[in-house]
């Protein structure tokens, strides 16, 4: 008995004094955190993920935001895998389309279950739940983290750390420079930014997951309840219009069915005078944060009481079997904004709006794609009418560049989730769940590649990571007309990432789009501009007539001129063999060449993607 007691007493001290070693440490089981951890482990790199709570998935699950925004036609990488898992669980895509705000809606508990199952399959991944980070210190070859687990304190030594927390808390511990709030207009020359900087961040929300009980289940009136606060949350004779913020007011039933979930549940994440709550908790202590979170909870419960008593939805109340919490509320609030690091590059609204006109062609370094509008929530701020109008600012679909994941000066550290190096305005679209899942996948893959190469993440070639992401079903560029099931998807992605042929971006209503137009005819002026970084000044002139036979002959001669030591493959010598090898349809000698045929031929023979490296800013390395 005494011996057993002695062991129990000294066990925490043994755990603390004997560091556990891992190659990659992911801090935070957020949407990007679980994507990063699984992606790293799949490359047979030892990975530990620590999470404060019991769930995986962050805003998608623990915060209850189980209606995804955007990327319905861009099922890139881990996001596509997660969506496929939801389809498998519920039986069809149609069964995910239960509400009108999204085409992918699900129960938060189901999302968590999927992430947990995916994680359990990875032998190289260890999960630590109910674990808090206490300190983080750099070492000669990585980091030492001190954590508090359910069984006491311990140390974890890691080569690379990934910050996947909701607010970028590890960024601060690591001494990385960051920004909070709105950037001034002259910082990134964004015309819609405010003239002066401020510390205003987006509203947060304690999401409500409701269930229809088939009978009145009205909660007790929450403290401080005032029905007038919510009069303008939907169409109502009581709404004077003073609080509408130029937003459309929907009928009450639309408010409810907005986030209708499978199995007769409803997600209430209502930005129009609903349950959004303003508080900048980024740099508060944990105690101060929790005090604000309680206020946000009360705001949401007040809104629930309003829905029940004023709008007639008395049969709806908090789902009792959704979250493992005593009050049936989500485990965490939904944070739309966090710290934003000063990275090796910063993605601005100009990079998204006009990617081919910027000094640095960041589009060449893409590791994730998004197509959701720039959406900022500021209506709950007390001075909302004085803030810039950033709601659904129109931009094309876009690519997220690799350099936003890497901080300046600090080594062996990768940033994911919402703390990547973007401007405040751009955060309004990169924060969305499908994009964040892809960011996590890129972060985990980058960390694993660095470990395998015995180097630091910034020394991994852009093209090396991009090649891996393509193999994993990821998109580098958001081509709407070339799904990843297309036989030439990878070739189009690679050629697009060189800039030799450029996509066409546009905004159509709520949709942000980019088209590759593979069936359109090849144009000589575009080709001359696109090829400049990749061929010498004395290159062979492009033929006047861009027919298939002329261009095939020219590409072969160009390869011999630019890369004389590279042998041409045998299948390129015979047109029939070439057509069969590259799966080119309707490839006849005298016919005018299409963009798609050129992309496939040039990718296969000249191989500019692999032959010409690019730096972190997208400049071609000669």
Whether 67 shows a pLDDT value over 70: the answer reads yes
**Band of residue 244 on the pLDDT scale cut at 50, 70, 90:** low
Whether 10 shows a pLDDT value over 90: the answer reads no
Mean pLDDT to the nearest integer, 76-87 = 98
Mean pLDDT to the nearest integer, 38-45 = 98
* Contacts of residue 69, Cβ cutoff 8 Å, sequence gap at least 6: 102, 372, 375, 432, 433, 434
pLDDT in tens, 434-468: 999 999 999 999 999 999 999 999 999 999 999 99
pLDDT of residue 622: 79
- For residue 558, the number of C-alpha atoms closer than 13 Å in the C-beta half-sphere is 23
Mean pLDDT rounded to a whole number for the chain? 94
Q: In 10 A of CB 588, how many CB atoms?
A: 10
* Closest to 107 (Cα-Cα) out of 257, 211, 218: 211
Q: Which whole-number Å values give the CA distances from 176 to 43, 283, 339, 378, 415, in the listed order?
A: 28, 14, 10, 27, 10
Label residue 78 exposed, middle or buried (CB < 10 Å: 0-12, 13-18, 19+): buried
Mean pLDDT to the nearest integer, 206-223 = 97
pLDDT of residue 586: 77
Mean pLDDT to the nearest integer, 422-441 = 97
* Closest to 398 (Cα-Cα) out of 491, 320, 511, 289: 511
Note whether 575 and 565 are within 8 A (CB).
no
Whether 4 shows a pLDDT value over 60: the answer reads no
The secondary structure element, H or E, covering residue 36 is: helix 31-42
pLDDT in tens, 576-610: 899 999 999 878 778 999 999 999 999 999 999 99
Label residue 71 exposed, middle or buried (CB < 10 Å: 0-12, 13-18, 19+): buried
Cβ density class 551-575: b for 16+ within 10 Å, e for less:
bbebbbebbeebeeeeeeeeebeee
Token pair listed for 73: 């036609």
pLDDT of residue 589: 75
Residue ranges in 70-197 assigned as alpha helix (H): 77-90, 108-120, 169-173, 185-188
Whether 9 shows a pLDDT value over 50: the answer reads no
Note whether 187 and 169 are within 8 A (CB).
no
* Closest to 475 (Cα-Cα) out of 371, 374, 350: 371
* Contacts of residue 622, Cβ cutoff 8 Å, sequence gap at least 6: none
Question: Cα-flanking dihedrals φ and ψ of residue 344, to 5°?
Answer: -65, -30
pLDDT of residue 393: 77
Mean pLDDT to the nearest integer, 347-353 = 97
Q: Which whole-number Å values give the CA distances from 385 to 205, 248, 334, 389, in the listed order?
A: 20, 16, 23, 9
- For residue 215, the number of C-alpha atoms closer than 13 Å in the C-beta half-sphere is 0
pLDDT of residue 451: 98
* Closest to 432 (Cα-Cα) out of 135, 154, 160, 59: 59
> CA-CA-CA-CA torsion for 318, 319, 320, 321, nearest 10 degrees?
-160
pLDDT in tens, 108-136: 999 999 999 999 999 999 999 999 999 99
Rounded Cα distance between 492 and 595, Å, is: 9
Question: Cα-flanking dihedrals φ and ψ of residue 196, to 5°?
Answer: -115, 150
* Closest to 304 (Cα-Cα) out of 191, 219, 214, 396: 219
Whether 266 shows a pLDDT value over 70: the answer reads yes
Label residue 357 exposed, middle or buried (CB < 10 Å: 0-12, 13-18, 19+): exposed
Residue 132 CA, distance from chain mean position: 24
Residue ranges in 331-432 assigned as alpha helix (H): 349-353, 427-430
Give a three-class secondary structure readout of 481-536: CCCCCCCCHHHHHHHHHHCCCCCEEEEECCEEEEECCCCCECCHHHHHHHHHHHCC
Describe the crossing of helices 433-452 and 462-471 by its angle, rounded to 10 degrees: 120
**Band of residue 407 on the pLDDT scale cut at 50, 70, 90:** very high
Mean pLDDT to the nearest integer, 271-287 = 97
Mean pLDDT to the nearest integer, 236-245 = 77
- For residue 69, the number of C-alpha atoms closer than 13 Å in the C-beta half-sphere is 21
Residue ranges in 342-484 assigned as alpha helix (H): 349-353, 427-430, 433-452, 462-471
DSSP letter assigned to residue 10: H
pLDDT of residue 13: 43
pTM of the model: 0.95
pLDDT in tens, 17-33: 689 999 999 999 999 99
Mean pLDDT to the nearest integer, 403-422 = 98
pLDDT of residue 539: 76
Place of tokens 């890691």: 158
Token pair listed for 292: 């604000």
Place of tokens 């089981």: 29
Mean pLDDT to the nearest integer, 547-575 = 92
pLDDT of residue 491: 98
Residues 346, 348, 352, 357, CA torsion sign = negative
End-to-end CA distance of the chain: 72
Q: In 10 A of CB 390, how many CB atoms?
A: 21
Q: Which whole-number Å values give the CA distances from 465 to 283, 441, 459, 479, 575, in the listed order?
A: 33, 11, 11, 19, 33
Q: In 10 A of CB 253, how many CB atoms?
A: 12
Q: In 10 A of CB 85, how many CB atoms?
A: 18
pLDDT of residue 611: 93
| DSSP three-state, residue 622 | coil
pLDDT of residue 587: 86
pLDDT of residue 53: 98
Whether 388 shows a pLDDT value over 60: the answer reads yes
Least confident of 456-470, 479-493, 525-539: 525-539
């Amino acid at each position: 008995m005494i011996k057993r007691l002695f062991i129990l007493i000294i066990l925490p001290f043994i755990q603390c004094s004997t560091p556990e070693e891992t190659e990659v440490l992911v801090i935070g089981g957020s949407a990007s955190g679980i994507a990063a951890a699984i992606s790293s482990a799949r490359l047979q790199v030892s990975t530990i993920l620590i999470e404060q709570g019991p769930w995986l998935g962050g805003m998608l699950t623990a915060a209850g935001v189980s209606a995804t925004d955007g990327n319905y036609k861009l099922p890139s990488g881990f996001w596509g895998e997660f969506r496929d898992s939801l389809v498998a669980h519920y039986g069809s895509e149609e069964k995910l389309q239960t509400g009108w705000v999204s085409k992918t809606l699900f129960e938060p508990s189901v999302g968590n279950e999927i992430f947990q199952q995916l994680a359990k399959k990875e032998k190289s991944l260890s999960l630590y739940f109910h674990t808090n980070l206490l300190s983080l210190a750099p070492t000669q070859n990585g980091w030492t983290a001190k954590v508090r687990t359910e069984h006491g304190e311990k140390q974890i030594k890691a080569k690379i750390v990934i910050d996947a927390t909701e607010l970028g808390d590890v960024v601060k511990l690591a001494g990385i420079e960051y920004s909070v709030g709105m950037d001034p207009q002259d910082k990134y020359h964004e015309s819609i930014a405010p003239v002066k900087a401020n510390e205003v961040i987006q509203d947060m929300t304690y999401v409500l997951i409701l269930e229809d009980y088939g009978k009145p289940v009205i909660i007790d009136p929450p403290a401080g309840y005032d029905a007038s606060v919510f009069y303008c949350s939907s169409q109502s004779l009581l709404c004077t219009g003073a609080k509408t913020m130029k937003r459309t007011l929907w009928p009450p039933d639309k408010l409810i069915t907005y986030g209708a979930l499978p199995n007769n549940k409803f997600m209430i994440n209502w930005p129009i005078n609903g349950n959004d709550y303003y508080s900048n908790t980024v740099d508060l202590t944990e105690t101060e944060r929790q005090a604000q979170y309680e206020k946000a909870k009360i705001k949401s419960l007040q809104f629930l009481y309003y829905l029940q008593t004023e709008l007639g939805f008395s049969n709806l109340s908090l789902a009792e079997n959704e979250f493992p919490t005593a009050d049936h509320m989500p485990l965490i609030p939904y944070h739309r904004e966090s710290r934003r690091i000063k990275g090796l590059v910063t993605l601005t609204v100009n990079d998204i709006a006009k990617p081919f006109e910027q000094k640095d062609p960041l589009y060449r370094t893409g590791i994730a794609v998004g197509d959701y509008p720039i959406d900022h929530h500021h209506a709950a701020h007390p001075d909302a009418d004085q803030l810039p109008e950033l709601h659904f600012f129109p931009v094309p679909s876009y690519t997220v560049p690799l350099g936003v994941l890497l901080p300046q000066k600090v080594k062996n550290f990768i940033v994911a989730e919402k703390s990547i190096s973007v401007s405040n305005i751009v955060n309004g679209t990169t924060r969305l769940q499908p994009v964040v899942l892809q960011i996590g996948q890129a972060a985990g893959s980058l960390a694993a590649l660095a470990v395998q190469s015995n180097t630091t993440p910034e020394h991994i070639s852009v093209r090396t990571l991009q090649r891996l992401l393509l193999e994993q079903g990821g998109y580098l560029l958001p081509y709407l007309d070339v799904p990843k099931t297309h036989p030439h998807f990878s070739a189009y992605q690679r050629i697009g990432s060189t800039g030799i042929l450029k996509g066409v971006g546009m905004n159509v209503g709520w949709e942000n789009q980019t088209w590759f137009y593979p069936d359109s005819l090849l144009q000589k002026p575009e080709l001359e501009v696109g090829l400049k970084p990749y061929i010498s000044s004395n290159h062979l002139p492009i033929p006047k007539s861009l027919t298939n036979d002329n261009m095939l002959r020219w590409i072969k001669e160009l390869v011999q001129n630019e890369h004389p030591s590279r042998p041409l493959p045998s299948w390129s010598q015979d047109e029939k063999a070439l057509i069969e090898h590259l799966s080119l349809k309707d490839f006849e000698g005298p016919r005018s060449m299409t963009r798609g045929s050129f992309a496939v031929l040039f990718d296969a023979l000249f191989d500019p993607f692999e032959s010409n490296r690019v730096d972190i800013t997208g400049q071609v390395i000669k």
